[in-house]
Structure formats: C-alpha cells, structure tokens
Amino acid sequence: MIKIIGTGRKLPERSVSNDELAAMVDTSDEWITSRTGIKNRFVCTKESLTDLAEGAARIALEKANLSPQEIEMIICPTIAGDFSFPSLACCLAQRLNVKCPAFDINAACSGFIYGLEIAESLISKYKNILIVGADMMSRLIDWNDRASCVLFGDGAGACVVTSGGALKYIRNNADANPEMLFAKSRTGNSPFTNEESDGGFAAMQGQDVYKFAVTAVGEEINLALAKLNLSAADIDYFVLHQANSRIIDGVRTRLKQPPEKFPMNIDKYANTTAATIPILLDEMIDEEKVKTGNTLMMVGFGAGMTTGTCVMVWE
C-alpha cells in the first residue's frame, strides 16, 4: 500500500511555439492546435535528461520534506536516458549522492503507472521510493517529419512514494504491437550484419494510435470503475497521459463527464511521454486542485502498446 508525499517537475528553458515550428516544416499553428490541442513545447538545448530528472526530483524531495539520503530506491520510467547504459536512475543517484537500487523501466508513456506498481510491490522493503518519469523526445523525433515533430516536448516529472493507503487500484497491461509506434535502436557497426540504420527516429501509425488510445483508455477506465464499484461521477479527476487533447476529449465525452474533471496542460508542454502524468499531477497540486480525500484516476498509454491505470484517494 502506497501514497505520494511529494511531486516535482522540470522543463527545459527553451520554449518552441507552433509558429516557430511552422517556419521550419510545412505546418501551421491552426493545423497543430485543431488536431492536437498543442500550442507550445519545451526543448532541451543545454540541458541533459539527467539535469531535468534531478530538477524534478529535488523539488519532489523538498515537498516530501525528505533529504535525498532518505530515498531507498530510484525508478526512472523513460524511453531513453542520456546513455544506453548506465541507466538514467543511476545518473540521478550520482547527482543526489544516494546509494540505493536504481534502475530504469521502459513502458513508454505508461511508464509512470508501471513505476507506481513496482513501488507498491516493493514498499515493504524500501521505505521511500523516488519515481522520476523523464524523456527527451527532441533527440528521437525526425525534425523534418511534420507528422511527428509537432507532437512532442521534453520534460521530467517526479514523485516520492511511501507507505500509505492511497492506492486503491492499479493495473498495467501490454497489448503488444511494436509496429504501431516505435523508434529502432542504433545498429552499431557490427561486421556480422548488413542491417542498415533508419536513423532511429520515432515513427507511428498516427490514426491507429489514436483509435487504440480512445478505445483502450475507455476500456481500462471502465474496468477500474467496475472493480471498485464506482461510477465516473465518483472520480474527482481523470489524470490522463497528455498525447492529444482530442483523445482526452473523446474519452471524456464517452464517459459524459465535464471538462474540469479532465485537466490538461498539453497546450503548454505537448507530449513529454513518461513525464506527462507526474508533470500534470505536480501542477494540479501546486494549483491546490488536489485535496485530501479526492479520488484521482491516472491513465497512461503508449508504445508497446501499453496501458497503465491506477486509482488513488489522496492522503
């Protein structure tokens, strides 16, 4: 049983508007805004992903009123850290001067919820667990491909987890289909293969991802509600992965719920992959939207295709 006792977020300094992108590729603010809800994103220029993860982690630790040395495990949900190895979590452990188990998990945009389930299963052994969802999609997307480069931004979101009764439900899943959304690993220079590199850029079947997201998120929400014997009206906030405002609106409309129960910040940050949920959660806490006793349902979906769903009654 776990609860979240501190959250933090860190975005790069450099902000990039839709208009700035429209000067680089054949797109427009109108196209991007109407199809996705995105107006802006932040992109690393000088910062490493470890810098962002450290920034978010330190804020979360401060809010949790803990020193880094009180952390007993670090989990970083991420698609790709600054190195193939060591993990982003180990780089972060060095920055925080912490000696404890530290590892990354890759469940793409569902990674934060996967991280919570791992924390839940290990909390009896490790007292305080730091989870930092962080991604730098700016180095994985093809900046000449207008269909994908407009969708993503860089960022990190952190939380500190400890024992508590907040988590009422958690379910992670993979409906595996690696062709729908992927970035291939580097090929290296092995003399034993003729495999050619495709550049390692992110690629996706946009409309298939869209359909998967609306359907799978809707199903996972209904499954969670049924399991807890709740209705959508009983949930105060649905904190959904911020990939596209139309996906979120599609899910919301099917559930017949008002917009204020589906907070969004995709207009400011675009899709920061594993970081969207903890960044949004941290903003909601800073804005004092989340109050003790509120019921939150968090749902991630992403490459795999993975989903992650949890329900927390805030403590």
Q: Which residues are catalytic?
A: 109, 241, 271
Neighbours of 194 (CB within 10 A): 7
Q: Point out which residues bind ligand ACO (CB under 6 A).
A: 27, 31-32, 35-36, 108-109, 146-147, 150-151, 181, 204, 206-207, 209-210, 243-244, 271, 273, 302-303
To ligand ACO, the closest distance from the beta carbon of 204 in angstroms equals: 6
Q: What is the nearest approach in angstroms of ligand ACO to the Cβ of residue 291?
A: 29
Nearer to ligand ACO, 138 or 162 (CB): 138
**88, 81 contact by CB (below 8 A):** yes
Q: Decide the pairing of beta strands 167-174 and 181-182.
A: unpaired
- Of the pair 162, 307, the CB lying nearest ligand ACO is at 307
Q: Which is nearer to ligand ACO, 7 or 244 (CB)?
A: 244
Nearest residue to 302 via CA among 250, 254, 247: 247
Report yes or no: 56 and 272 within 8 Å, Cβ to Cβ: no
CB of 152 to ligand ACO, least distance (A): 8
Give the residue ranges of DSSP H helices in the chain. Answer: 18-22, 29-36, 49-64, 88-96, 111-122, 146-149, 206-228, 245-255, 266-269, 276-286
Question: CB of 133: closest distance to ligand ACO in angstroms?
Answer: 12
Q: How many CA atoms lie within 13 A of 200 on its CB side?
A: 10
Q: Which lies closer to ligand ACO via its Cβ, residue 209 or residue 281?
A: 209
Q: Which residue has the tokens 């630790």?
A: 61
